[in-house]
Amino acid sequence: MNSKFLLTLVVIIVVVIVGFALYKNQADNKTAVENSTKQTQTATPTNAPQVNVVLTQNGFEPKELKIKAGIRVIWTNKSGEPATVNSDNHPTHLLYPFLNLGEFSTGSSLQAIVASPGTYTYHNHLNATQKGTIVAE
């Protein structure tokens, strides 16, 4: 009977530890997304210069965009079907949370301000072969 009790106790402890680790990881990811969003919203004024990217049936045009940090990027969907702008890697979208703009219908637009220098990759989650890159200096 003692071995059953010990085994049950060990299983409960393992479940509690795994549950805590998953909860902590989820809380850390949420905090990172919130911090990234706050940085994007406050790092530059709302009248930031802007550039346009068009999504066609062939993908994002231009595929690679070279800009200065602080520029607003506006994506317009002219593909004829719903699409998304999401950070790489597909399908988790964890690399650049500020690029997780979600779904937009044909004829509509999404936008984000690229606040910091870096190379940022993104894709259309509904057609992951459609990819784009932003190089911000």
Highest mean pLDDT pick, 8-17, 21-30, 42-51: 8-17
19 domain residue, yes or no: no
Mean predicted lDDT score pLDDT of the chain: 82
The domain total for the chain is 1
Residue at 99 is within a domain: yes
Question: Which pLDDT does position 63 carry in this prediction?
Answer: 96
pLDDT reading at 45 higher than 70:
no
Residue 62 maps to a domain: yes
Q: What is the pLDDT of residue 90?
A: 87
Helix (H) or strand (E) holding 60: strand 59-61
What is d(CA 23, CA 114) in angstroms, rounded to the nearest whole number? 30
CATH number at residue 68: 2.60.40.420
* Single pTM value for the model: 0.65
Determine, yes or no, domain membership for 89.
Answer: yes
Domain that holds residue 84: 50-136
Q: Does residue 128 belong to any structural domain of this protein?
A: yes
Both tokens of 54, joined, read 């068009």
Given a contact cutoff of 8 angstroms between Cβ atoms, the answer to whether 53 and 60 are in contact is: yes
Query: Is residue 92 included in any domain, yes or no?
Result: yes
